[in-house]
Amino acid sequence: MNQDQNSIDRYIEAATRANTRKAYRAAVHDFEVEWGGFLPATADSVARYLVDRANQQSLNTLKQRLAGLAQWHMDQGFPDPTKAPHVRKVLKGIRELHPVHEKQARPLQIEQLTTLIQWMETQLVVIPTNSPQYLRLLRDRALVLLGFWRGFRSDELCRVQVEHISIMPGQGIELYLPRSKSDRAALGATYRTPALQQLCPVDACQQWLAASGLTQGPLFRRIDRWGSCSATGLHVNSVIPLLRDLFVHAGVPLPNSYSSHSLRRGFATWAYSAGWDVKALMEYVGWKDLKSAMRYVEVAAPFDRAFPIPVAAKMSIAVSQSGFVDTAQWQDTVVDLYLQIETYHVKHSNRKNAREHIERICLKTHDMRCLSRDQGHYRLVIHHESSAHLDGITRDLFTEMQHIADSHHCFIEAHCVERTTGKRWD
């Protein structure tokens, strides 16, 4: 019986991420030990706890504390006091009286990524190939480039296993992750990244594997002073200091403003500026909802177009699903879009916000020109590789616009007309 219970407990523990369990324990400790509350708690005591902590902890921390307390009550079979209307109103009041700009990692832009990789490659030329430093540089270059071009989180990079990698030189790299933060059902996912003319993650990973001799186990590992690789992977908490140390040595400005998340944010910013539509970006990176994607798209800013954009700039979503990039010549088609937005919820008139979000998220990626906002008339330049691809882009465009309109309690009436042929999409 005890063995069966131990097995049950082991699987229950495996169902929750280690960091989440740690955060829940911290929430219970803060409420019960640091603040002096009693468990099971009442809605009134939770509300007083929030009020006392309002000047000490951020809103996100307070939300995390509430999640931890809620989980404790559910695990113990008690009613959840954190869902009480009284508690929710207190939390809303804290949000109003203590507004805080959410701090986010600085995105690693292509310019900084290029500076970093060029410095690393310069060092690789002058450092002895049998030195531990040479091996670390190969590892770090592969980690940075794979993390950037795949938009990986630091924990995902630390979990990549050599036996789950397939490298096709000059074509791309394919790797399998049994689980990730966005893979709630733990079904596993296969990720593909093409070979690039510059800043290539495929070449970097291939050279790292060849030099390290790794055939199984974690791809990225600690390297000791004698140049021996550890049997275990890098700890997730070591990635940020590793990156910042590289930025310092490479002369990247404000190195401490970057974190491991800068790779993911940097790729999202670059992809949006390079013309990726939001749906393709969401599927490639792994976001499940538009709100998550918009947090990244907000920071998008145009880069220097004189920079030779790698071939990945033209990747479609097919890269992440069935193969690698097709480098065939693409073409531009000019279309007129006619868009009307109406509200369907009397109490929530968000038509203006819906239009602003549609313009920024959906239309600016196609070189939008607003000819008449009152009439909803826009001119777009759609970059595509075939007639079928153009049809798919317009279809996805309508879907994205409707998705944003729905989130603002609106609906749209829209159609596009190709200027040269008169072809129409509804």
Per-residue pLDDT at 101 = 55
Tokens at 278, concatenated: 């939001």
> Nearest to residue 299, comparing CAs of 58, 111, 103, 148?
103
Concatenating the DSSP letter of every residue in 262-298 gives: HHHHHHHHHHHHTT--HHHHHHHHT--SHHHHHHHHT
Q: Could you report the per-residue pLDDT of 347-374, keeping only the tens digit for each?
A: 555 778 888 888 877 787 788 888 888 8
Instruction: Report yes or no: 281 and 271 within 8 Å, Cβ to Cβ.
Output: yes
Superfamily of domain 2-97: Tyrosine recombinase, N-terminal domain (1.10.150.130)
Per-residue pLDDT at 3 = 56
What is the percent of the chain with per-residue pLDDT over 90, rounded to a whole number? 26
Concatenating the DSSP letter of every residue in 73-122 gives: HHHHT---GGGSHHHHHHHHHHHHHS--PPP-PPP--HHHHHHHHHHHHH
Tokens at 308, concatenated: 């030779």
Query: Hunting for tokens 């995390």 — which residue is that?
Result: 64
Q: Could you report the per-residue pLDDT of 76-100, keeping only the tens digit for each?
A: 899 999 999 988 888 888 887 776 6
Per-residue pLDDT at 310 = 40
Given a cut of 80, whether residue 47 has pLDDT beyond it is yes
- Using the 8-state DSSP alphabet, how is residue 228 labeled? P
Superfamily of domain 110-307: Intergrase catalytic core (1.10.443.10)
Per-residue pLDDT at 368 = 86
Q: Could you report the per-residue pLDDT of 280-338, keeping only the tens digit for each?
A: 777 787 777 666 666 666 544 443 333 333 433 333 333 333 344 443 457 888 999 99
DSSP H stretches of helix in 274-381: 278-285, 290-297, 351-358
For residue 218, report the phi and psi dihedrals to the nearest 5 degrees.
-60, 140
403-409 average pLDDT score = 76
Q: Could you report the per-residue pLDDT of 215-254, keeping only the tens digit for each?
A: 999 999 999 888 899 988 898 888 889 999 999 999 988 8
Per-residue pLDDT at 116 = 94
Per-residue pLDDT at 218 = 93
Q: Lowest mean pLDDT: which of 30-39, 157-166, 332-341, 384-393?
A: 384-393
Per the prediction, the chain carries an average pLDDT of 80
> Nearest to residue 350, comparing CAs of 403, 290, 409?
409
Q: Which is more confident, 149 or 396?
A: 149
Rounded Cα–Cα distance for residues 352 and 342 (Å): 10
In this prediction, residue 58 has a pLDDT band, given cuts at 50, 70 and 90, of confident
Q: Could you report the per-residue pLDDT of 144-179, keeping only the tens digit for each?
A: 999 999 888 888 999 899 999 999 988 889 989 886
Per-residue pLDDT at 254 = 86
Rounded Cα–Cα distance for residues 231 and 215 (Å): 12
Rounded Cα–Cα distance for residues 281 and 53 (Å): 38
Instruction: Report yes or no: 367 and 302 within 8 Å, Cβ to Cβ.
Output: no
Given a cut of 80, whether residue 376 has pLDDT beyond it is yes
Q: Where are the beta strands (DSSP E) in 314-376?
A: 331-343, 369-372
Query: Hunting for tokens 């790292």 — which residue is that?
Result: 208
Rounded Cα–Cα distance for residues 240 and 226 (Å): 23
In this prediction, residue 118 has a pLDDT band, given cuts at 50, 70 and 90, of very high
Rounded Cα–Cα distance for residues 191 and 355 (Å): 34
Tokens at 403, concatenated: 């998705």
Given a cut of 70, whether residue 125 has pLDDT beyond it is yes
Per-residue pLDDT at 142 = 95
Tokens at 186, concatenated: 């733990």
Given a cut of 90, whether residue 207 has pLDDT beyond it is yes
Per-residue pLDDT at 316 = 35
Give the count of beta carbons closer than 10 Å to the beta carbon of residue 257: 13
Superfamily of domain 331-425: Reverse transcriptase/Diguanylate cyclase domain (3.30.70.270)
C-alpha 257: how far from its chain's center? 18
> Nearest to residue 139, comparing CAs of 211, 194, 247, 198?
211
Domain boundary assignment for the chain: 2-97, 110-307, 331-425
| Residue 57 identity | Q
In this prediction, residue 64 has a pLDDT band, given cuts at 50, 70 and 90, of confident
Q: What is the pTM of this model?
A: 0.61
Q: Which is more confident, 236 or 210?
A: 210
> Nearest to residue 382, comparing CAs of 305, 420, 426, 330?
330
